[in-house]
Amino acid sequence: MTVLMVVSLFSTPVYAGSPDIVDVFVDNVFELEHKEQFVDLLAMIREVDDKDGMLSAYNDAFGRLTDGQQDRVESFGVTLDAMGEFVDYIMTESYDETKLNDYLGLDGSEDKAAFKASIVARETDFRSAMAAAGADMDALDDGFERMDKLFDMLGDAQLGVQIGVTFPFLSARSVGGSFTLVTSEADKLVLLANAKLDNDIEDGSTIIDGLSDFITYYNGTSSANRSALYDYLDTYGFVDYNPPSSGGGGSSGGGTSTPPTETIEDDPIAQAVPVVSESMPIAPVGGTVEFAESEVVMEVPADAFEAEVDITVEAFTEEDIVAGGSISAGFEDEDETLALSSQVYKFEATSTFDAKIKVSIPVVLEEGFTEFHKLGIYQFDEFLQEWVFVGGTYNAETGMVEVMLEHFSYYAVMSYDKSFTDIDASWAKEYITHLAAMRIINGRTETTYDPDGTLTRAEFAKLMVYVADLSVEATESGYTDVMATDWFAGSVTAAKTAGIVESVVVDKFRPNENITREEMVTMLMNLYKYMTAINYVETYKDEVVDFTDMDLAQAWAKEAIIGANKLEIVNGKGNDLFDPSGTATRAEAAKIVKILLDVLAK
């Protein structure tokens, strides 16, 4: 981020380069009443790959909530920029949120001297960072004061979440999906801010405009950025997750407010005549329903319906869908990322249902198609007017893709062809593209994967939870360095409950540390144990491997390494070495997860 950008963003330039800038920054950080919010915001900034755009959007959304005079928000933006530059210049793999927690006393006694010393150790970089942000002493003093006002409101919002009082001004129809502004809830947020500012807000509409600008940025940024921002905002109860419930299906959303309605003038394919339309009755006892013409199969659990109902299946050809207009969005994109691999089906029931129904959809594939891992089931989200991935597994015996559905709507099987620009020369390209097509892994950005990059213990734990399809809730994990508000809290808790992760250091998970090869393999084999009920420790405790550096492996990791080698999941790094304490890469993670899935499928 450059001084020019700061000037262009905030019109009024500020002057950098005070000899006391270190003391000013340190003093302001330690004077914050809500230091935990400071750390959480830095953690979110570290997650995104477009810091400049995100910080500008964040300033649009929240800067005007911190001062009643609507034309005096420059210092808030400058302080945000300073935090962004602090992340880039100062925070490293070893200088992370856990270290900040220690300095700021969030897990014990604060150590201001150590915090200052950590900055002085990188003083040249720090002063360059503040200069790049355009931060002088006055701007930081004023900006941190405004920042703490925001943190105070965010703290109140977190308390509200705990007692069920929230302000979900962002409506999302899928996790990480596009946002729509819920004006009534945004107005409540403005009222809260106004109360905090002694009724000093001049014009609440400018705040609403800022929130709208933030939504525009969010909806247009990368999926990785959206994921980080979604998790951050959801922590404060600002997101109303409200999936569509078209066709009489039950909604599984956890939102607390009614989202704004968007009128769809016509059914997306009202003009089209289905090639198949058939109905079948189903009793409360449930059972398997086979639709003869469409060849769709549904397995309905007992008591999914309170009384006998009729389930209707309509099938449409691709020509019908294209003629229908908006519902063809997605699988006709120029980049051909999605390709329709079945007819499009509309499922309806004469009543809502309370349990997931297993649905199997037949596929229509070109001759010679073998990349079945690319197949998945997508739902057409009528609110967003786009296709949303909902899961699905190809069954080679039936030639159908199976999925568990919570509600009825439009569904289709599509193949997803995803690759990245930086993996052509990578030895792990096959593994990466395979998992990306299955939507198990994401890139660092929309176009890059960063195969040689590292990943943290929290990131790999989240991957394990996704593979195991565990339910994730942001509850207490029992680890002192995992807060319920952390983006990874739910995944770590779920992984711990399933026995996938354990604590080597008492009460510490070390979520932000880069995962080592022995840690990664141990988590993976714990996942194997969870999914197969095979106790690999007992199975392989008397086995040996050819790795000559096994004496360097931790005792708790040895059976995992041996088991993974015997299952042909890992084969070392050459020269009969495993390198147990070496830092794992994203390419290595993709490889072992892909091979584990192959092992589980046998």
Rg (the chain; Cα; Å) = 26
Q: Beta-carbon neighbour count of residue 14 at 10 Å?
A: 22
Which residue, among 413, 97, 490, 45, has the nearest Cα to 229 in the 3D structure? 45
pTM: 0.51
Query: Domains in the chain, ordered, with CATH?
Result: 3-239 (no CATH), 276-416 (2.60.220.30), 429-601 (no CATH)
pLDDT value of position 249: 31
Compare 600 and 386 and report the one with higher pLDDT: 600
Question: In 392-520, which ranges are E strands?
Answer: 393-395, 400-405, 410-416
The pLDDT value recorded for residue 449 is: 93
Q: Which of 108-122, 213-227, 355-369, 390-404 comes out lowest in average pLDDT?
A: 213-227
Residues 423-463: pLDDT tens digits? 999 999 989 998 988 888 888 888 899 999 999 999 999 99
Model pLDDT for residues 323-370, shown as the tens digit of each residue: 445 555 555 544 457 888 999 999 998 888 888 899 999 998 888 888
pLDDT surpasses 70 at 258 = no
CA distance 160 to 189: 12
Digit-coded pLDDT (tens) for 260-273 = 333 333 455 555 67
Average pLDDT over residues 101-107: 84
Question: Counting Cβ atoms within 10 Å, is residue 515 exposed (0-12), middle (13-18) or buried (19+)?
Answer: buried
Which residue blocks in 304-428 are alpha helix, DSSP H? 318-324
The single residue listed with the structure tokens 């009024």 is 12
Tens of pLDDT, residues 34-59: 888 888 888 888 888 778 888 888 88
pLDDT at 589: 96
pLDDT of residue 385: 67
Determine the distance from the C-alpha atom of residue 223 to the mean position of all C-alpha atoms in its chain, rounded to a whole number. 8
Contacts for 253-262: CB closer than 8 Å, 24+ residues apart:
255/168, 255/171, 256/164, 256/166, 256/168, 257/166, 257/168, 257/171, 257/182, 257/184, 257/185, 259/171, 259/180, 259/182, 260/171, 260/180, 260/181, 260/182, 260/183, 262/180, 262/383
Per-residue model confidence (pLDDT) at position 4: 28
The yes-or-no verdict on residue 163 having pLDDT over 70 is yes
Summarize the confidence of residues 61-87 as an average pLDDT: 67
Give the confidence band of 197 by pLDDT, cuts at 50, 70, 90: low
With bands split at pLDDT 50, 70 and 90, how would you rate the model's confidence at 213?
confident
- What confidence tens digit (pLDDT) does each residue in 522-567 have? 999 999 999 999 999 999 988 999 999 999 999 999 999 999 999 9
Question: Is the CB of residue 95 less than 8 Å from the CB of residue 46?
Answer: no
Which residue carries 């959480």 as its tokens? Answer: 40
Share the mean pLDDT of the chain.
80
Token pair belonging to 498: 């399933």
pLDDT value at residue 6: 27
Token code pair at residue 594: 């892909």
Predicted pLDDT at 274 = 82
